[in-house]
Structure 1
């Protein structure tokens, strides 16, 4: 139980960091900087701008007669800018902030608005959004699962699951396929550690830890994005768990490649799908192919009080190793947008899983669980 306690302490410390709150003064600085660039370099006399949380919004009409790609690139290079977005009319520019209330606020997102993120080395933001219901997407989390496991290898029912991970873009650049299909690409590293603890054991035994590392590349054109990676994963059983159960250990380790495509629809709906294969694996008999697909809903409505946004996500996976049976992972809850830690939002999610265990050592065992988790996602 001590490991879970240390994780909770770490999360509390993160929440208390100075960077955990937005800085409106910095937004005002960015707005002035952006207006100066537009007036000095592009001869735009009175551009309508809005900046919130480092995102610059500029009217499409104000960019008439300019090289839009150069404008977006110049604005995204401003220190502190997280993204640049064009909007079709002035009504979409945010009004002055009001006092939070217990009402639902609808935030419209018009199609055709091009978002440009910061370019260069170690940029902020990500082109491909996290997969919210994927149990093996690297991020920081802690969750409790009430679990039912097939087979007689263990009597575990109450499990604590923790993960530590991040997706780090090293470099981002612009793509140009004509003005209509301008986009961006980035490359970087992704890494994560996923551990399960048996809360029914006297010492809260470590059951399994999966280590994951990848080199990735992603791109975005409008609402379409893609994410490909070359990855490694290895799995390890906990010593106390092995001594107590005398389970026959599997030396599971593999390298592979996968690709995911995503498209964002109106009203906060996102569809994604893809697949992958293993080219080096142990045991050698492990079947290589898999597919993954899902749907997410990030509500365009948020509760003004506490800035809570509803979230629902379903992730589906099929592995050749398990005769293409479907593993279902579903999560639903709220995102607290006033708790921003290094660009990551805090989420409380109800969790459900039914399928073959995502924990590497038990990939042939079927499990079902319900639980509650705390997550930090970008």
Structure 2
């Protein structure tokens, strides 16, 4: 079965990366991250940032009058970095121990990433293998044995925007907005016809507590065929639109493995014959070790969805590639992924078709 071959090839890329040594590469990544933060937050350039085993000694003489404790507090929010103030070779005490309020300040700064108006960090992370998760992306897809499409361009424009976050009941809560347009184009047509566009909007409520996170939302989707495609093919358009709700639960095992699952239902469907119930689950793998340089980290994911309308036959979406990491991308995710899909078409007007494709593209979440 071709699905198994596609899945194996996708994940070999990830598995082959984990044999790299962690220590020196992690330190070098942290050095680059610290240098970028010092430049971006304090205007400090050419600061020598030597990190050894995750420990940075911050020399006040290099800070050009900046308050060493303020700089140390900001740098201490970097995961995996221990900051001490002093000169290299001094017997120094870690900043968080030497100042009683530092640990609380660090925890408070981390909390502000999730709370308040327009928080920069989302309580529920994007599902990178879900074809219909709001994001900005551009990819090329090669359909297998399809009756109409061969080479397809996919262009998506969307995002998740948390409006407000707060702390309560031992967890972090956020409400916000999701919106996206998912479009595909026939790259074999002389005019690169727009084939289908799906318009999606949702109101999500998200929660996070330690390694656990969850999201529930009410959403609307409507689907439209492209004018060029209609004129060229003379097909009967389906007036497809629906509202729905879903619930997703997620658990992180450290920084490497994430598993999730959930389901939902549709209501106010057009056509009214759409069966409402569906389920979704999957997992994501993120390598703790960089690949080639400290900017590229291997990632891989599998998303499985099944619906009552397809007699619960599952559809598979597998993706693997690299994630770009830099201080300039803090709070955002930029990925180059190879992808494989086998199942009911996620493109609204073609929801009754079974499709299979391979592809590759750039995906940006913010």
- TM-score for both structures, normalised by structure 1: 0.72
- Residue matched to 1:90: none
Is there any run of 5+ residues in structure 1 with no aligned partner, and where? Answer: 1-20, 38-45, 77-82, 85-115, 177-181
Q: 1 CA distance for matches of 2:354 and 2:218? A: 27
- Residue matched to 2:315: 327
Question: Within 5 Å, which residues of 2 pair with 1:231-250?
Answer: 231-250=219-238
Residues 134/255 of structure 1: CA separation in 2 closer, same or farther (3 Å cut): same
What is the deviation of 1:294? 0.2
Residues 339/353 of structure 1: CA separation in 2 closer, same or farther (3 Å cut): farther
Question: Within 5 Å, which residues of 2 pair with 1:61-140?
Answer: 62=97, 71=105, 75-76=108-109, 83=110, 117-140=113-136
Q: 2 CA distance for matches of 1:304 and 1:238? A: 42
2:178 match: secondary structure: strand
Contact preservation (8 Å) 1:163, 1:194? yes
Q: 2 CA distance for matches of 1:237 and 1:47? A: 53
Aligned: 1:25 with 2:58: no
What is the deviation of 1:117? 2.8
Q: 2 CA distance for matches of 1:56 and 1:209? A: 48
- Residue matched to 1:158: 151
What is the deviation of 1:307? 1.2
The counterpart of 1:200, out of the listed 166, 185, 188, is 188
Contact preservation (8 Å) 1:35, 1:49? no
Q: 1 CA distance for matches of 2:238 and 2:76? A: 56
Residues 297/362 of structure 1: CA separation in 2 closer, same or farther (3 Å cut): same
1:353 match: secondary structure: strand
- Residue matched to 1:175: 168
Q: 2 CA distance for matches of 1:33 and 1:260? A: 44
- Residue matched to 1:315: 303
Q: 1 CA distance for matches of 2:67 and 2:225? A: 54
- Residue matched to 1:302: 290
- Residue matched to 2:339: 351
Q: 2 CA distance for matches of 1:60 and 1:321? A: 58
Aligned: 1:288 with 2:276: yes
With 336-345 and 230-239 compared, the bigger mean Cα shift is at 336-345
Q: 1 CA distance for matches of 2:236 and 2:260? A: 37
1:305 match: secondary structure: coil
What is the deviation of 1:168? 0.3
Residues 342/248 of structure 1: CA separation in 2 closer, same or farther (3 Å cut): farther
Contact preservation (8 Å) 2:316, 2:342? yes
2:206 match: secondary structure: strand
Contact preservation (8 Å) 1:24, 1:52? no
Q: Deviations over 1:228-262 (max 9, x none)?
A: 11100000000111111111211000001101000
- Residue matched to 1:104: none
Residues 238/227 of structure 1: CA separation in 2 closer, same or farther (3 Å cut): same
| Aligned residue pair count | 302
Contact preservation (8 Å) 2:340, 2:356? yes
Q: CA RMSD in A?
A: 3.2
Contact preservation (8 Å) 1:260, 1:275? yes
Residues 339/33 of structure 1: CA separation in 2 closer, same or farther (3 Å cut): closer
- Residue matched to 1:145: 141
1:248 match: secondary structure: coil
What is the deviation of 1:191? 0.4
